[in-house]
């Protein structure tokens, strides 16, 4: 890698293209400043924040502690570990995959490339669902989480609704295994996870008071426009239906018509520009009280709808 601003970097290219470490002394602060600048000059965002997390992970320090020890020199093995993480970030690998964990609604979750990285927009989905569940005031609320991935939705809802019974389903056995580890990590006895391919099979059980899902909603035509962190590293099957982005919406709406109990509600996270189409699908299926909520960027992101009355809507 080229050095910048006349400052010899901790990593540099040789003619062979290999990377070797510098013999110079690198302190915490100097490494943060050089690495942050290097990323910024290559168009990365939140550069200093990401460098702080990477270095803190290597040294076992919080971001605050890094600055309390800003003049600490790195040992050779610490510098080598940081360089390996830094190389991975330069390929646009997401920070959460490098660290092996992500935070969702205050819960630390294990993540890897078999699952989507939990996002703040999905926190809105969960917040709205939890608020509805509390208003419903039903004992032993039955909740179905479809396409659980890392288990982030189930973990949060299992914590905030301790009297509920939550079934999480996913078709990917590796994702399901990871979700179970996260459920166990947070000692949630009211959450279970089972393998179900929702496009070809119905989930077990009878009816549910609440069905929630963050399904694959990226249209195939839009996939190439995603950020490299998403397009190159996150599981494609969890992002796109390889069609118009509405395949799972149609299936979940039809499923909810027969599996939601009276007064129950369906909660869906949707993609940019999908609010109108999803709203029409729900209305045609007989759902009531269709509500659309924006995310933090004022993009319509969450749709919720009341279970239809028997015989209402299309079959």
Radius of gyration of the chain (CA): 23
Give residue 7's pLDDT. 54
What per-residue confidence (pLDDT) applies to 39? 97
- Our CA angle for 207, 211, 214, nearest 5°, is 150
H or E element in which residue 108 lies: strand 107-110
- Residue 8 confidence (pLDDT): 59
Q: What is the CATH number of domain 101-306?
A: 3.40.50.150
Cβ pair 136, 313 in contact under 8 A: no
Beta bridge partners of 104: 107
Alpha helices by DSSP H, listed for the chain, are 28-40, 47-59, 63-68, 76-90, 95-99, 120-136, 152-160, 173-185, 228-231, 247-259, 275-284
Of 93, 123, 86, nearest in space to 9 by CA: 86
pLDDT value, residue 139: 85
Contact 267, 128 (CB under 8 A): yes
137: left (phi over 0), alpha (psi -120 to 50) or beta: left
Domain boundaries, the chain: 11-90, 101-306
Query: Average pLDDT per run of 10 along the chain, which is 315 residues long?
Result: 50 41 81 97 96 97 96 96 98 98 98 97 98 92 98 98 97 98 98 98 95 98 97 98 98 97 96 97 96 97 90 60
CATH, domain range 11-90 = 1.10.8
Q: Do residues 31 and 82 lie in contact, with contact meaning Cβ atoms separated by under 8 Å?
A: yes
**Residue 1's pLDDT is what?**
38
**What is the dihedral angle through the alpha carbons of 300, 304, 308, 312, rounded to the nearest 10 degrees?**
0
Left if phi > 0, otherwise alpha if psi is -120 to 50, otherwise beta: which for 264? Answer: beta
Residues 251, 285: contact at Cβ < 8 Å?
no
> How far apart are alpha carbons 134 and 265 in whole angstroms?
13
pLDDT at res. 313 = 66
Q: Let me know if 16 is exposed, middle or buried by CB neighbors in 10 A (0-12, 13-18, 19+).
A: exposed
Closest CA to 113 of 172, 66, 153: 172
Closest CA to 238 of 253, 248, 250: 248
Q: pTM higher than 0.95 for the full model? A: no
Q: For position 74, what pLDDT does the model report?
A: 97
């Amino acid at each position: 890698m080229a050095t910048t601003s006349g400052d010899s970097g901790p990593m540099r290219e040789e003619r062979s293209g290999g990377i070797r470490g510098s013999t110079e002394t690198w302190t915490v602060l100097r490494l943060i400043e050089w690495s942050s600048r290097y990323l910024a000059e290559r168009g990365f965002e939140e550069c200093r924040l990401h460098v702080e997390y990477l270095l803190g992970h290597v040294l076992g320090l919080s971001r605050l502690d890094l600055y309390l020890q800003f003049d600490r020199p790195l040992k050779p093995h610490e510098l080598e570990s940081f360089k390996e993480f830094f190389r991975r970030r330069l390929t646009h690998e997401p920070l959460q995959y490098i660290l092996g964990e992500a935070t969702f609604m205050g819960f630390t979750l294990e993540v890897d490339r078999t699952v989507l990285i939990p996002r703040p927009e999905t926190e809105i989905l969960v917040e709205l669902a939890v608020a509805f569940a509390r208003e419903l005031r039903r004992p032993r609320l039955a909740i179905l989480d479809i396409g659980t991935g890392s288990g982030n939705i189930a973990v949060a809802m299992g914590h905030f609704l301790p009297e509920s019974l939550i079934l999480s389903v996913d078709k990917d056995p590796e994702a399901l295994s990871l979700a179970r580890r996260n459920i166990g990590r947070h000692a949630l006895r009211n959450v279970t996870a089972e393998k179900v391919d929702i496009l070809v099979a119905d989930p077990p059980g009878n009816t549910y008071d609440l069905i929630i899902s963050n399904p694959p909603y990226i249209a195939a035509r839009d996939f190439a426009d995603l950020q490299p962190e998403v397009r190159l590293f996150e599981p494609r099957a969890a992002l796109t239906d390889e069609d118009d982005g509405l395949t799972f919406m149609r299936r979940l709406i039809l499923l909810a018509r027969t599996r939601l109990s009276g007064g129950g509600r369906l909660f869906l996270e949707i993609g940019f520009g999908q609010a109108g189409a999803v709203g029409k699908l729900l209305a045609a299926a007989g759902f009531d009280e269709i509500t659309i909520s924006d995310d933090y960027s004022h993009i319509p992101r969450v749709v919720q709808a009341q279970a239809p009355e028997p015989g209402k809507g299309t079959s």
